[in-house]
Chain A
Amino acid sequence: MATPGFAGRILLVNLTKKEIGELDSARYEPFGGGHGTAAAIFWELCVAPGGWDLQDAFDPRNAVALMTGPLAGTGLSYAGRTSVSGMSPQSWPVNWFCHSNFGGSFAPMLKLAGWDGVVVVGRADAPVYINIVDDRVTLEDARELWGLTTWKAQEEIWRRTSVHYGREWQELGQGQTLQRPAIVTIGPAGENMTRVAALVHGGGSGAGQGGFGGVFGSKNLKAVAVLGTGTVKVADPKAVRDSREWWETRWPVSAEFPGPAGIVHSSCMGCRGRNCHNRNTAYGRDSDNCAEAGWYAVAPPAKPTPQDVQLRSADIVQQLGLNAMETCFMGPMAFPVPPDFPVQPSVPAYTALGWYLKKMYDLGVIGPGTKFDTSPLPMQDYERGEFADIYGLAIANRIGIGDLLAEGTVRFAEKLGRLPEDFDTLLRLTAWGYQDHWSMPAVEWCYGNLMDARDINNHDMSLGPKPGLECADFVKILAAGTARNDPFWFDYSWQGERAYQTGIYSEAKARFVAWRQHYATYYKESALFCDWAFSNLYNRNSPDGRGYTPEAEPRFLNAVTGRNHTFEDGLEIGRRAWNMKRAIFVMQGRHRKMEKFAGYTYRPGASYCGFALELPVFDGSRWDWVNCRELYLEDRGVEQWKTHFYNTEGWDPATGYPQRRTLEELELKPVADTLQSAGRLGSPP
């Protein structure tokens, strides 16, 4: 019997065998749903049986999972995202098991159709899409959809059924509906198995990081469409509604993305109004106001890209199904460069593909007279909007130099013979080939990248000075929010012995990162609380500054599931799923020796691209906010931090492999047995 909030079934589609089956989702509830459940299924389907090396994300045996969380479709806010998991073609040098997620209405609709998720293995012999209408699941011919943009493909799937969605009630086998199917699809970038391909749902809800669009392409899978006419059962309907009201009253929302005047915002299903999307811009319709909205904005010294050109380009990146973050130009976020980085007057926070391409051109590494022809890109028109069109098309269709760019920034650099040197200066790719984003100086972000398998998007830590608050009081608020009450988790001392005692190399920082990974693995990636809104340790709209973490998460989940879980119980689910992931990484070849940052992080001034530079620092007697723009890492310190981290997690500090005791404590004995057979179980402490 599934717990309320869960549909109880996970769809399992084998495209090679054209088989449609299902898994009992109750078996996976100890992993929390979403990414945690996907990790457990990946282990069962891909790792435990053995027989392959788990290196190539485009191998048909890779299992890609679209999963919901228990809150999707319940009317609770900020909680309806769809998790995407599987081996990722984007990460470098290994295609680690990875996660991404997207908003919109897909997860609620999947749940209303009676499914907690869809897991796809194998490879179809010709393009197909999976069509789900409640219980009825079919593989449909997608040959005529192949080549269509993400937007056209969705419209074509709607058109095919000749139903006037949203105009007339439609009678279905088990119900009736006025809604149109929710569709997640790939564009040409995914079809051509680029490593920079997104999954796109609606106009602009996308899962870009991880490159799962290419995994769909490798499976000949164009889309998954779902229409659900059922309901989501919850344990306590009154408490579900009341908890949303309690939360909204206690922590009123402020529109995080006000945008230009006259913009009418739109939201994901169930959202209380964070307003991440737009309804009425001429271009970028329903765009997420994040990376894609600024995708084509060229970096200084080029002149600023006009906003209408940026918005128009946002359409292109979404229609082609490109990972906006990885392929962007990221001009608006350029920072002055410190002396140790003799690059150019300023560098964008993300040294992504669009920027790096130009840098290589300017340095004469590619282009005329080199062995890397830049056609079809009109490099002389780099600052004109048309460039974005051609650039996007060349990558998505692997035309000319687009074929190299389609491999993503790090592999492009490798092909040009620029590694590892560029890791020291130009290329801010913190770990596994992912963009720096804002991962320094607030180092839990870059540590998280290193221990996980991608940029962890740790937007939720708001650490800068707060009006009317002493720094010491601020860190107390943060510490209370974690429910562990250690203010030194938030000490960003980075020089001298203090850095080792309570600062960025300390045991406290290791515990904080472990907490963050457990929190995110469960609450953000498995229960699928919106990444933009959770966690919330500090909240400027609350009278005492306290955020809604750790109160809101268990309150919402318990109202839906009827459990009596504490916040800590959720962290323990996260720890279980995180250890399951660790075991997958280890079976893919992860070892302590591999967990190394790119060279630039060790150079003085490495944090100059940080977003929030003023961080809490404890000088031995008092707390204060200190500008940490100069923060950089010491190799000895990072190695000490790693030892603390592995010990905190119950992993062998010599190898980073989980120890049997840790896995058994988490009821993962079979996982320990498999690791042992492979010679990859951590030695006992």
Chain B
Amino acid sequence: MAGKTKTDKTGVSRREFMTGGGAALAGGALAGGALGIPLPAEGAQKPGAYPLSTGYLVYDSRRCSGCQSCMLTCSLVHDGEAGASSSRIQIARNVFDPYPQDIQIFVCRQCPEPLCVKNCPTGACHVSAENGQVRMIAADRCIGCKTCIDSCPFVPHRTVFRVSAGKATKCDLCADTPYFSKKGGPAGSQACVEVCPSGALRLVRELPPQKDNAGYDRDLTAPAVKS
């Protein structure tokens, strides 16, 4: 379903709205300022000034077995507790829908113009230079305002709200995984890719085509080529 547009109250689709993201940033920054929260250095990123992520999670929804191991492992390595709601990758399954619509995979696209980053009032949601420019949320700076969640242009939103923690989170390609015994991040391992028994998840280096979903939901039958 990724790539489908969501229409806001004005009737302007979110993806169209994305092109007017500067206004959204202004609103976000204002909100942060109004709350008196200082913007940390790494958060001070200008619109249009985002370096591309050096990694992207792509998937093959036709190969997926629907086991949701990726979800449980994602929450485990990030939060130390296994959960479905807190997983940054979401596998939605309806066994009564015909193949291949029976399984939908939703992952963060590491957008070139990340509205979640752009609109975060505290800079918690940021592009991390230390972690291969992945878009990630620093939990200690998140105030749980859900701006990043409302800003995500995709339905369902890829930023995830952890109700128990009162904070937002998102896929960071395992950059911040205190419960992962391997090095994560774009240059390291991703717990979901490693656990997937079906070869349905893969990390790629190049920015996938952004026009629709096909750049992310792709045929992964051929083995990965080291890049």
Residues of A within 8 A of B (CB): 73-75, 77, 105, 108-109, 112, 151, 154-155, 165-169, 174-180, 202-203, 228-234, 237-238, 240-242, 244-245, 253, 264-273, 275, 279-280, 285-286
Residues of A near B72 (CB, < 8 A) are 73-75, 108, 269-270
Check A231–B83 contact: CB distance below 8 A.
yes
Tell me, in angstroms, the Cα distance from A285 to B93 when the chains sit together: 13
Known: A168-B155, A244-B195, A280-B99. A230 touches B83 (CB 8 A): yes
The residue in chain A whose Cβ has the minimal distance to the Cβ of B71 is: A75
Known: A73-B82, A232-B82, A279-B103. A241 touches B77 (CB 8 A): yes
Closest-CB distance, B103 to chain A (whole angstroms): 7
Check A166–B93 contact: CB distance below 8 A.
yes
Residues of A near B161 (CB, < 8 A) are 169, 176
Of A75, A241, A268, A280, the residue contacting B181 (CB under 8 A) is: A241
Tell me, in angstroms, the Cα distance from A169 to B106 when the chains sit together: 12
Closest-CB distance, A399 to chain B (whole angstroms): 27
Supplied contacts A176-B161, A266-B95, 16 more A-B pairs, CB within 8 Å: A75-B82, A167-B155, A179-B84, A231-B79, A237-B81, A237-B179, A241-B180, A241-B181, A244-B195, A266-B103, A267-B67, A269-B68, A270-B72, A273-B198, A275-B65, A286-B102
Residues of A near B77 (CB, < 8 A) are 237, 241
8 residue pairs of the A-B complex, CB under 8 angstroms, read A75-B76, A109-B84, A176-B85, A178-B85, A234-B76, A241-B180, A245-B194, A253-B197
The residue in chain B whose Cβ has the minimal distance to the Cβ of A152 is: B96
Residues of B near A230 (CB, < 8 A) are 83, 85, 164
Tell me, in angstroms, the Cα distance from A240 to B195 when the chains sit together: 12
Tell me, in angstroms, the Cα distance from A175 to B163 when the chains sit together: 5
Check A285–B103 contact: CB distance below 8 A.
no
Tell me, in angstroms, the Cα distance from A270 to B191 when the chains sit together: 14
Check B76–A241 contact: CB distance below 8 A.
yes
Residues of B within 8 A of A (CB): 1, 62-63, 65-69, 72-73, 75-77, 79-86, 90, 92-96, 98-100, 102-104, 106, 155-157, 161, 163-164, 179-181, 191, 194-195, 197-198
Known: A155-B96, A241-B77, A241-B191. A167 touches B66 (CB 8 A): no
Residues of A near B179 (CB, < 8 A) are 237-238, 241
Check A238–B96 contact: CB distance below 8 A.
no
Residues of A near B73 (CB, < 8 A) are 75, 241
Check B66–A279 contact: CB distance below 8 A.
yes
Interface class of chain B by DSSP: loop
Check A232–B67 contact: CB distance below 8 A.
no
Check B66–A238 contact: CB distance below 8 A.
no
Residues of B near A202 (CB, < 8 A) are 95
Known: A178-B90, A253-B197, A271-B65. A231 touches B95 (CB 8 A): no
Closest-CB distance, A620 to chain B (whole angstroms): 46
Check B67–A271 contact: CB distance below 8 A.
yes
Tell me, in angstroms, the Cα distance from A552 to B62 when the chains sit together: 31
Tell me, in angstroms, the Cα distance from A231 to B66 when the chains sit together: 19
Residues of B near A271 (CB, < 8 A) are 65, 67, 69, 197
Check A269–B181 contact: CB distance below 8 A.
no
Residues of A near B163 (CB, < 8 A) are 174-176, 229
Check A229–B181 contact: CB distance below 8 A.
no
The residue in chain B whose Cβ has the minimal distance to the Cβ of A285 is: B95
Residues of B near A176 (CB, < 8 A) are 85, 161, 163
Tell me, in angstroms, the Cα distance from A242 to B156 when the chains sit together: 31
Known: A267-B67, A271-B69, A273-B198. A285 touches B83 (CB 8 A): no
The residue in chain A whose Cβ has the minimal distance to the Cβ of B69 is: A270
Check A167–B1 contact: CB distance below 8 A.
yes
Check A105–B68 contact: CB distance below 8 A.
yes
Tell me, in angstroms, the Cα distance from A178 to B68 when the chains sit together: 13
Residues of B near A203 (CB, < 8 A) are 95-96
Residues of B near A228 (CB, < 8 A) are 84
Q: Which of B72, B191, B198 has the most CB of A within 10 A?
A: B72
Check A168–B99 contact: CB distance below 8 A.
no
Check B65–A273 contact: CB distance below 8 A.
yes
The residue in chain B whose Cβ has the minimal distance to the Cβ of A4 is: B81
Closest-CB distance, B106 to chain A (whole angstroms): 7
Residues of B near A265 (CB, < 8 A) are 65
Known: A166-B94, A166-B104. A231 touches B63 (CB 8 A): no
Residues of B near A178 (CB, < 8 A) are 84-85, 90, 92, 106, 156
Tell me, in angstroms, the Cα distance from A641 to B183 when the chains sit together: 56
Known: A231-B81, A234-B81. A168 touches B156 (CB 8 A): yes
Closest-CB distance, B182 to chain A (whole angstroms): 9
